[in-house]
Amino acid sequence: MAFLAAALDRVKPSATIAVSQKARDLKAKGRDVIGLGAGEPDFDTPDNIKEAAIDAIRRGETKYTPVSGIPELRQAIAAKFKRENGLDYKPEQTIVGTGGKQILFNAFMATLNPGDEVIIPAPYWVSYPEMVAICGGSPVFAETKIADNFKLTPEALEAAITPKTKWFLFNSPSNPTGAAYTEAELRALADVLMRHSHVWVLTDDMYEHLVYGDFVFTTPAQVEPALYDRTLTMNGVSKAYAMTGWRIGYGAGPLPLIKAMDMIQGQQTSGACSIAQWAAVEALNGPQDFIPKNREIFQGRRDLVVGMLNQARGIECPSPEGAFYVYPSCKGLIGKTAPSGKVIETDEDFVTELLEAEGVAVVHGSAFGLGPNFRISYATSEALLEEACSRIQRFCGSLD
C-alpha cells in the first residue's frame, strides 16, 4: 500500500522556486549567475513598518491571535478596500492568512468538491492549478495570446464555462505576464459572468499598486457591484510594501465563505504571526508615499528590459501594464542550435542553455502553462538587468 497521498500525484513542484534554488546552487559553486526568477521586490521594508513590529514586540504582542486576524488589522483591511477600491466590507467579512497563498488555499478547500472546475487563464502563476488539484478540483485553462497582450477575451471565458464551473480565478496585474485589465476589459468579462450566476470570482489583486503610466487599477466587484456577493477579493502586503518574508495576505468576501475559511484555518495554522500582523496594520494605515517612488523605479526597469529584449534576435517582448515581470516569446529561436550543440526544441531547453552558457536564470514559460516563452522578474537593480539582457542578446546571437 502506498504511504504518500494520491493527491500528490496531481501536483508538480514550483518551477519558480526550483529556478531560484538552482541559481543559488550555482552561485555557491562560484559561478557568476544573475537570478531573474524570484517574484519579490528588492526594496527593503519601510522603516515605519519595521518600527511598528518592534513596538509590538516590546508591548508583548507575542501571543496567539484570533484565527481570522487581530481586530486592528481586519479594520485596516476594511478601510483599505473602501478607500482604494470603493468596496464596502465589514471587518468580519475579512480574513488574514499566512501570505496570499493561504487565502487562496482556504477558499478552495472550503468550496471545492471532486469534479468542480476552476477556470484559470493561461499563462498562470504556477501555484494556481496545483492548489486546485490538491483541494480536489479540476483546473480548466483558458489560453490567452501574445497578440492580446496575454489578456483573456470574453469569448475565451464564455467557452471555458460549464455547469461544473465553480470559480473563475483572476489575476491582474498578472504573474507571470504583467498584463493588467482596463476597466472596459474587466467590464466585458463581468458581462459574461453575469450570464452565469453559478460562477464565483476569486480575484488575486496582489500587484494592485504596481501599475505604470496612466493605467488605473480596478477590481471585479468594483466594476460590477452585482458580482460582490460571489467574489472573494484577495490581496496582501508582500509586493507593494516589500514585505514578502512577513507572510501576510488577506481576503474579503461574503460572510458565509469567510466563516468557512476561518474554520479551515483554525484547524490548519490558526492565526498568522502576531508581530507581522501589527506590521501590516502600519503598512495599510501608515504613509503610502514610498509606493509611487518604487513604482517609478520599476517602470524604468520595465522599459529598460523590454527595450533590450526586443533588440535580441528571435525574441518578442510585449510591454506589460503592471507587476514586475515580462513574458517574452522565444518562438523565433526554436529549432536553433546552442553553442553546446544542443538543439533548442522547447522554452525549457532555451532557459537551460541560457543558464549554462551565460549564467542568467529565468523561468521557462511552459511552467506557467503557455510557451514558448520565458518569465523575467525585473525586481533587481538596473545594472544587473542591463548586464543580464546583454547576456541574453549575446546568447540569442550565438544560436545557429
The pLDDT of residue 6 is above 90: no
The pLDDT of residue 10 is above 90: no
Instruction: Write down the pLDDT at residue 5.
Output: 87
**Residue of 315 and 10 predicted with greater confidence:** 315
* Domain boundaries, given as residue ranges, for the chain: 6-44+290-395, 63-285
- Is the torsion defined by CA of 269, 274, 275, 280 positive or negative? positive
Q: Are the C-beta atoms of residues 77 and 94 closer than 8 Å to each other?
A: yes
Q: What is the mean pLDDT of residues 310-324?
A: 98
Residues 6+ apart with CB under 8 A from 3: none
Q: What is the mean pLDDT of residues 176-204?
A: 98
The pLDDT of residue 14 is above 80: no
CA angle (141, 178, 44) in 5-degree steps: 125
Number of H helices, E strands in the chain: 13, 12
Q: Which option is the CATH number for 63-285: 3.40.640.10, 3.40.50.460, 3.90.950.10, 3.40.50.970?
A: 3.40.640.10
The pLDDT of residue 374 is above 80: yes
CA distance 138 to 108: 11
Summarised one tens digit per residue, pLDDT across range 211-270 is: 999 999 999 999 999 999 999 999 999 999 999 999 999 999 999 999 999 999 999 999
Instruction: Write down the pLDDT at residue 331.
Output: 97
User: Which whole-number Å values give the CA distances from 322 to 80, 294, 296, 376, 377, in the listed order?
Assistant: 20, 13, 11, 13, 12
Q: Are the C-beta atoms of residues 120 and 141 closer than 8 Å to each other?
A: yes
- Is the torsion defined by CA of 373, 219, 265, 284 positive or negative? positive
Whole-model pTM: value is: 0.95
Residue 252, SS3 per DSSP: strand
Instruction: Write down the pLDDT at residue 1.
Output: 80
- Picking from 40, 70, 92, 68, the residue whose alpha carbon sits closest to that of residue 279 is 70
Instruction: Write down the pLDDT at residue 140.
Output: 98
- DSSP annotation string for 160-218: H--TTEEEEEEESS-TTT-----HHHHHHHHHHHHT-TT-EEEEE-TTTT-B-TT----
**Which CATH superfamily groups domain 6-44+290-395?**
Aspartate Aminotransferase, domain 1 (3.90.1150.10)
The pLDDT of residue 13 is above 80: no
CA distance 199 to 309: 39
Instruction: Write down the pLDDT at residue 189.
Output: 98
Amino acid at 137: G
Chain-wide mean pLDDT for the chain?
A: 96
Instruction: Write down the pLDDT at residue 199.
Output: 98
Summarised one tens digit per residue, pLDDT across range 276-316 is: 999 999 999 999 999 999 999 999 999 999 999 999 999 99
Query: C-alpha grid cell for residue 392?
Result: 541574453
